[in-house]
């Protein structure tokens, strides 16, 4: 498993960006999609802020197993599994184009709700990520208000929030558990008086 796992989060973002570029004609140019937050956006071009705004350990995957290092008595610590939350905010010269982009993004992630195979960029597959789900994250009005308060000086804009999960982050920590080399199964009698 000697792969570079530290690139996994970046590779998920790159995978989403490649999927969007291939399916949303208004965003085909590399410069139209930014990983920056809405507070970083200052452009008159059509652009999509694809901001990773929160990540957490996936609660449903916490009890994963350690993994053997080949046919040895060494093991990797269990991998971590992450939930990544993205905010997709379009910026265009007119509101119609922004609404068009939002509609196309929603349809894309509805129709293509799993990253797998050629969708996985960088080290994702090598790190054991076979399928990563893309799920619409329906925020309440209160959550939207709190989220936009994080971007000072920027008015709230209509955006989409997505949960991308589970993202497998393999451990690089190796430990040794000695193997049982010999078993003693002899029977001993115990006499009682």
* Residues 122-154 pLDDT 10s: 999 998 899 999 999 999 999 999 999 998 888
The CATH code of the domain that includes 46 is 3.30.2000
The pLDDT assigned to 40 comes to 85
Note whether residue 189 is domain-resident. Answer: no
Note whether residue 182 is domain-resident. Answer: no
The pLDDT assigned to 173 comes to 60
Note whether residue 162 is domain-resident. Answer: yes
Report the candidate in 115, 155, 156 with the shortest Cα–Cα distance to residue 135.
115
51 has which bridge partners?
Answer: 87
Is residue 164 within 8 A of residue 86, CB to CB? The reply is yes
List the structure tokens of 154: 């920027």
Is residue 166 within 8 A of residue 132, CB to CB? The reply is yes
b/e 168-181 (16+ beta carbons within 10 angstroms → b): bbbbeeeeeeeeee
Q: What is the mean pLDDT of residues 92-98?
A: 90
Note whether residue 65 is domain-resident. Answer: yes
List the structure tokens of 57: 């350990």
Note whether residue 190 is domain-resident. Answer: no
Count Cβ atoms below 10 Å from residue 5 Cβ, excluding itself: 20
Q: What percent of the chain has pLDDT over 90?
A: 54
Cα–Cα distance for residue pair 8/51, rounded to 1 Å: 16
Q: How many domains does the chain have?
A: 1
Q: What is the mean pLDDT of residues 171-192?
A: 64
Q: Which residue has the higher pLDDT, 67 or 190?
A: 190
List the structure tokens of 164: 């991308």
Note whether residue 126 is domain-resident. Answer: yes
Local structure of residue 63 (DSSP, 8 states): T
Note whether residue 191 is domain-resident. Answer: no
Per-residue confidence band for 113, with pLDDT thresholds at 50, 70 and 90: very high
**For the chain, counts of helices (H) and of strands (E):** 3, 9
What confidence tens digit (pLDDT) does each residue in 37-78 have?
Answer: 888 887 667 689 999 999 999 876 666 565 555 556 655 567
pLDDT above 90 (res 192): no
- Residue 85 lies in domain: 5-176
Note whether residue 135 is domain-resident. Answer: yes
Cα–Cα distance for residue pair 115/121, rounded to 1 Å: 10
Local structure of residue 99 (DSSP, 8 states): H
The pLDDT assigned to 159 comes to 96
């Amino acid at each position: 498993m000697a792969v570079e796992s530290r690139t996994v989060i970046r590779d998920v973002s790159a995978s989403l960006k490649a999927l969007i570029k291939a399916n949303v004609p208004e965003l085909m140019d590399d410069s139209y999609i930014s990983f920056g937050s809405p507070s970083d956006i200052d452009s008159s071009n059509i652009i999509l802020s694809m901001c990773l705004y929160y990540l957490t350990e996936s609660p449903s995957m916490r009890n994963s197993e350690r993994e053997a290092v080949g046919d040895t008595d060494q093991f990797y610590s269990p991998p971590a599994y992450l939930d990544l939350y993205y905010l997709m905010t379009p910026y265009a010269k007119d509101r119609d184009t922004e609404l068009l982009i939002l509609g196309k993004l929603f349809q894309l992630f509805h129709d293509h709700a799993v990253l797998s195979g050629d969708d996985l960029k960088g080290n994702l597959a090598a790190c054991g990520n076979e399928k990563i789900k893309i799920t619409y994250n329906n925020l309440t009005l209160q959550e939207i208000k709190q989220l936009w308060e994080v971007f000072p000086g920027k008015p709230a804009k209509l955006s989409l929030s997505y949960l991308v999960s589970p993202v497998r982050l393999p451990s690089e920590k190796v430990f040794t558990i000695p193997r049982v080399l010999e078993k003693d199964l002899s029977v001993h009698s115990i006499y009682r008086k």
